[in-house]
Amino acid sequence: MKDTRKTKKQLISEVIELRQLAAALNTTETECRQSRAALQESEAMFRNLLDYIPGVSIQEYTTDGIVRYWNKASEEVYGYTAEEAIGRNLGDLIIPPEVQPLFKQALELGAKCTRSGELMHPSEVMLLHKNGSLVPVYSIHTVVCMSDKPPLMFCLDVDLSERKRTEETLRKAYDELERRVEERTAELAKVNDKLRREIEKRKLVEESLRESEEKYMTMIEYSNDMIWTLDKKGNFIYFNNKSEEITGYKIKEALNKEFMPTILEEDLEMVYDVFRRTLQGKPLHYEVRIHDSSRKKLITLSVNTAPIYKDKEIIGTVSFGRDITERKQAEAALHASQQWFRAIFETAEDSIFIKDRHLRYTHVNPAMERIFGVPASQLLEKSDKELFGDEAGAHIGEADSCVLRGEITNEEHTKPVAGVPTTFHVIKVPIRDNSGEIISLCGIARDITAQKVAIDELRLARINYRMIADYTYGWEWWKKPDGTFRYVSPACERITGYKPDRFIEKRSLLREIIVPEDREKWDEHNRQTNKDIGRREMQFRIKGPHGEIRWIEHFCQPVFTRENEFLGIRASNRDITERKQSEEVLRKSATQLQLATTAARIGHWDWDTRTSKMYFSPEWKRHLGYEDHELPNRLETWKSRLHPDDRRRVIKDIHDYLAGRLSDYAIEFRLKHKDGSYRWIYTRAEKLLDDTGNAYRFFGCHVDITDRKQTVLELKKSLAEIKRLKDLYEKESLYLREEIDLVHDYRNIIGNSHAIRHVLSQVEQIAGTDSNVLILGETGTGKELIARAVHHNSPWKDRPLIKTNCATLSAHLIESELFGHERGSFTGAIARRAGRFEIADGSSIFLDEIAELSIELQAKLLRVIEDGEFERIGSSKTMKVSVRIIAATNRDLEKDVRDGRFRRDLWYRLNVFPITLPPLRDRIEDIPLLVQYFLNIFTRKLGKNIVSIPAKVMTALQSYSWPGNVRELENVLERAIISTSGPNLSLSEKLGRNEQKTSESFKSLHDMERNYIVKVLEETDWKVSGKNSAAEILGLDRSTLRFRMKKMNIHKP
């Protein structure tokens, strides 16, 4: 007998294990369904995201090149619609011949690929637009491998057109910077040349006093600077050759004459003052402008003057003057270049800013002001923490610190602009001084909200600034009359690769290192130099010991004594290899600039207001349909083509800007085309001011925006549709935010009994139709879960199920909840609100506790069911919707119809397909599955380790009648798990026996609710609202409590 009882226990244990296994399998199946649904939702959302990523073309194609997917941005970048592209070969659509080999190689690699995510050939390429033009893009190809399908290729193309334009602007600034460095280098070379001449003079003085004097006078005579002396009366007593060369005056014309009339009249008084002060013993420096002998050329000199002493008495002055005319012109050109750069800074569409080392804004352009909507004065000297708050400011500050350490950063920030979150792509670079120390940082911010992409591989081009300081020194030599070298400077080794001693030992070495093509020219130069006493120059190439070729600029001068004795030849040589290379680069850059302007279809113009000279670029004329030679470069050419309605406004704005009454000139107007039509033009311009503050030059660029203007009209037509979709999105977003804390899910329907399978079968039958559904059942049987199951298996499953509990609000509030209200329609209606039926248009609405609706609202609901029409509270406008109604109640509607509490016609409309949910006591075979389900949930939630359910516990659970159904079971199990301390589940309370019918001692939920409300009112002395009131204790709104009191016929005695 003992063995027999032991066998029965084992069987019971095995049955329990089998039931637990079944519950686990059911849970696994549920999780699988959840995963599949989440995957489908994620795929749909990802597809939708890809379709609306502007500026980034994304294509999906097979390893044969056939396009399978083509997003919206691809239409903008390449001009083909999705219908035109899908099904065609990608190589035939957008791949030009020169890129075809790379494309084919990518297809071959894709076909061989066995691992997803591999990138192939990321590069910048030019691809074909539908109209035949080339589009610069950054192209990334990747492959997705699938076990049961051929691999798929994905291509992401980022449109680089805007970036190319920015690179061109920065390249111009770089070229200008390089030119300034070269000018500075040339000036330093001149200073070094003068220093070497002085050193050479000292060596010659040591060798021989006579020879030193001759060489000294020769150096002065043939110096690269003007040298002259004046007596105390201001007459010239010496005037060297350089002075003759620069001024054009002969020496005989200058000696013993007062040369002051050559000085510009405006500088004359200053020169007299300097001369008088120098005679008082003060060496001075000044700049003066003089005329040449023809009085046609104006020369600017930088002059150092000092007194001449004899026996400690000042007998005159000596002056050293350097022609700085070219430098002054270069400074003027530099000023003009700075003005051009300022124009770019001011007219750029991107935001440009500069921060100091303390990360405070020191410069911002107008685009930055437009983005923030405040003037620059409110941005300057402010930090990011002051502008954006501590958290955002600290994040930006971390990136700025990297820039101040020498890094170049690419960042993305989202900031509210005019109340709208706007994303900016920011490039920051360090700014260095001449010593290479970082003194500030510069940033360019571009609004990429419309081009925001969800792809990590997106790379933006990086900008490098490089400061070059390359100080070169001249290569000097002296040749004796016999052709041998008397002296060769050490710099020759750096320039030629040979030491000075090699040239002194072997005089033919110089001719040997000159390239053969230049030797004949060199020989002729030497012959002419020996015949002519004048200064000569030439350029030639030499070949270094390692085969390198260098360009040399050569200046030489025969040297004679006063007795006309030939002493030799003095020469100065400079390495101009880099200058030659720069000239070639500059020539190419000028050509590329012209091509870029033409390709970008940007016209430009320049007006000299002093001479009225006007220039229009060929592209400017092409905008109006003319070739370059067809329109004269005159101001009247432009005025005559202005639209009559625009002429007065445009000319007034020009005069106001030139007079300083306008701070910025950016305007739109119309110009007459050659065909008689008018084209819309957008122009931005800048002005240059002279020393008096008057504008002497007005220049700018313009773009034809006719197509954009026409597009505005089309955009306005789309505005109504966009607004409608936006309102619908806001309505659904509001509802989804209210539903975000929803815990239950239609997939949480647990059970395998015949009764629950019958319910699920009914759900499958009705879900695919648009018929109304009525769900009947006791409290806690899962009516809402069945409603969600119907909705999520219906054609409207992609839209949210809108849910309303008809018993939670008063009649007036439930009407507003269902049908909405207008602003001011009743007290507290501070804004218009959309009702649940309006939000549920095109979807399903779940009306829980439908029997609690008042008779008046039942009539309105009947109208919605029959005609799909209703009006908001306070509005006379009829709204029409298409909504599927799923209603639920725990009451006997047939009895309510007989008692007159529920409309019979509404009952017929709702009772199209009733689904009756069985109480838990009628499906006790599902209790083990439910127990296991809740056990898994609460053990994870509470951190318990309960591994088994004793048979007596399960028997007790299955023996109880569960008047509260599944909800009561859930609460009982949660309390049991909380109180269980071991691995076996134990009940914290005793449960009654299962009874087929509810005990007659039980009261209805309606009676229990009425009794409880009366009890709370009595305890609060019938205080309905306020602190410590019945409404506060019951957790109800005061209007809801009054409604229920009226409905339940509760009155204060």
Structure tokens that stand for 585 in this block: 């680069």
The pLDDT assigned to 919 comes to 92
- Three-state SS at 359: coil
Architecture of domain 742-918: 3-Layer(aba) Sandwich (3.40)
For 603-612, what is each residue's pLDDT tens digit?
777 888 877 8
The pLDDT tens digits of the residues spanning 134-178 come to 888 888 877 877 666 778 787 888 878 777 777 778 788 778 877
- Strand 884-889 and strand 773-776: the pairing is parallel
Q: Are 435 and 533 in contact (CB under 8 A)?
A: no
Task: Tell me, yes or no, if the two domains 52-159 and 475-582 fold the same way.
Answer: yes
C-alpha closest to that of 614 among 605, 623, 603, 624: 605
At 884 the pLDDT is 92
pLDDT of residue 309: 85
Q: Which of 492, 524, 533 is nearest to 196 (CA)?
A: 492
**pLDDT (tens digit per residue) in 363-373:** 887 877 777 67
CB 438 within 8 A of CB 404: yes
Average pLDDT in the 679-706 region? 84
CA distances from 423 to 257, 426, 469, 716, 967 (A): 74, 10, 39, 24, 48
Task: Give, in order, the Cα–Cα distances in Å from 728 to each of 41, 421, 723, 724, 847.
Answer: 20, 20, 9, 6, 21
Average pLDDT value for residue range 848-875: 88
Ranked by mean pLDDT, which of 133-147, 710-724, 994-1008 comes out on top? 133-147
The β-bridge partners of 447 are: 424
Band the pLDDT of 750: cuts 50, 70, 90: confident
Whether the pLDDT of residue 728 is over 80: the answer is no
Q: Give me the numbers of helices (H) and strands (E) for the chain, helices first please.
A: 36, 34
Q: Which amino acid appears at position 719 of this protein?
A: L
pLDDT in tens, 257-278: 665 557 777 888 888 888 888 8
For residues 206 and 484, the answer to whether their CB atoms sit within 8 Å is no
Portion of the chain with pLDDT greater than 90, in percent: 3
Mean pLDDT of 193-201: 76
Which of 319, 279, 324, 316 has its CA nearest to residue 303?
A: 319
d(CA 560, CA 532): 12
pLDDT value of residue 1003: 65
Res 410: pLDDT: 83
Contact predicate 798/843, CB 8 Å = no
Task: Tell me the pLDDT of the chain averaged across its residues.
Answer: 79
* Four-residue CA torsion sign, 691, 694, 696, 702: positive
CATH 1.10.8.60 fits 921-979, yes or no: yes
Q: What is the pLDDT of residue 147?
A: 63
Kind and range of the H or E element at 119? Answer: strand 119-128
The alpha carbon of 1017 is separated from its chain's Cα centroid by a whole number of angstroms, namely: 62
What pLDDT is recorded for position 262? 73
Beta bridge partners of 568: 559
The residue assigned the tokens 């409608």 is 724
Q: b/e per residue, 991-1007, with b = 16+ CB within 10 A?
A: eeeeeeeeeeeeeeeee
Q: Buried (b) or exposed (e) across 243-271, using 16+ Cβ within 10 A?
A: bbebbbbeeeebeeeebeebbeeebeeeb
Task: Quickly state the pLDDT bin for 448 (edges 50, 70, 90).
Answer: confident
Encode pLDDT of 522-578 as tens digits.
888 888 776 666 778 888 898 888 888 888 888 888 888 777 778 888 888 888 888
Q: Among 573, 521, 580, 515, which residue's Cα sits nearest to residue 544?
A: 515
Pairing of strands 914-916, 773-776: parallel
Q: Which residues does 432 contact at the CB level (< 8 Å), separation at least 6? A: 438, 439, 465, 467
**Assigned CATH for 52-159:** 3.30.450.20
**Fold entry, domain 222-330:** Beta-Lactamase (3.30.450)
Q: What does the pLDDT look like over 7-35, one tens digit per residue?
A: 666 777 776 777 677 676 666 667 667 76
Best CA proximity match to 554, nearest among 475, 665, 455, 458: 475
> Could you report the per-residue pLDDT of 376-426, keeping only the tens digit for each?
777 778 887 877 777 777 888 888 888 888 888 888 777 766 667 778 788
**603-704 is classed CATH 3.30.450.20:** yes
Rounded CA separation 529/555 (Å) = 11
Residue 453 confidence (pLDDT) above 60 = no
Superfamily grouping for domain 475-582: PAS domain (3.30.450.20)
* Mean pLDDT value across residues 105-123: 70
More confident residue, 477 or 835: 835
Query: What is the DSSP secondary structure assignment for residue 937, as one 8-state letter?
Result: H
Res 774 pLDDT > 90: yes
Output the pLDDT for position 454.
45
Nearest to 427 by CA among 399, 388, 394: 399
User: How many Cβ atoms from other residues are within 10 Å of residue 959's Cβ?
Assistant: 14
Over residues 971-978, the mean pLDDT reads: 88
- For the chain, what are the domain ranges? 52-159, 222-330, 348-451, 475-582, 603-704, 742-918, 921-979, 1005-1047
One-letter-per-residue 3-state SS of 463-511 = CCCCCCCCCCCCEEEEECCCCCEEEECCHHHHHHCCCHHHHHHCCCHHH
Least confident of 101-105, 302-306, 595-599: 595-599
* Antiparallel, parallel or unpaired: β 549-560 and 566-575: antiparallel
Supply the pLDDT for residue 458: 39
| 114: confidence class by pLDDT, cuts 50, 70, 90 | low
Percent of the chain residues topping a pLDDT of 70: 82
The reported pLDDT for the residue numbered 998 is 42
Residue range 849-874: mean pLDDT, rounded: 88
- pLDDT tens readout for residues 634-654: 888 788 888 889 888 888 888
Q: Is the CB of residue 985 less than 8 Å from the CB of residue 976?
A: yes
Strand order in the sheet with 298-310: 236-239, 226-231, 313-323, 298-310, 284-291
List the alpha helices (DSSP H) in 53-160: 72-78, 82-85, 90-94, 100-112
Eight-class DSSP state of 123: E
Q: Which of 917 and 993 is assigned the larger pLDDT?
A: 917
Indicate if the pLDDT at residue 999 is higher than 60: no
Residue 465 has pLDDT above 60, yes or no: no
Instruction: Determine which helix (DSSP H) or strand (DSSP E) holds 814, and give its type and residue range.
Output: helix 811-819
Q: H helices within 823-926, ranges in order?
A: 836-839, 855-867, 893-899, 904-910
Instruction: Grade residue 775 by pLDDT with cuts at 50, 70 and 90.
Output: very high
On whether the pTM is more than 0.85, the answer is: no
Bridge partner list, 125: 137
Q: Which CATH superfamily is domain 348-451 in?
A: PAS domain (3.30.450.20)
When pLDDT is averaged across residues 246-252 and rounded to a whole number, the result is 72
The model's confidence at residue 469, banded by pLDDT at 50, 70 and 90, is very low
Q: What is the DSSP letter of 983?
A: S
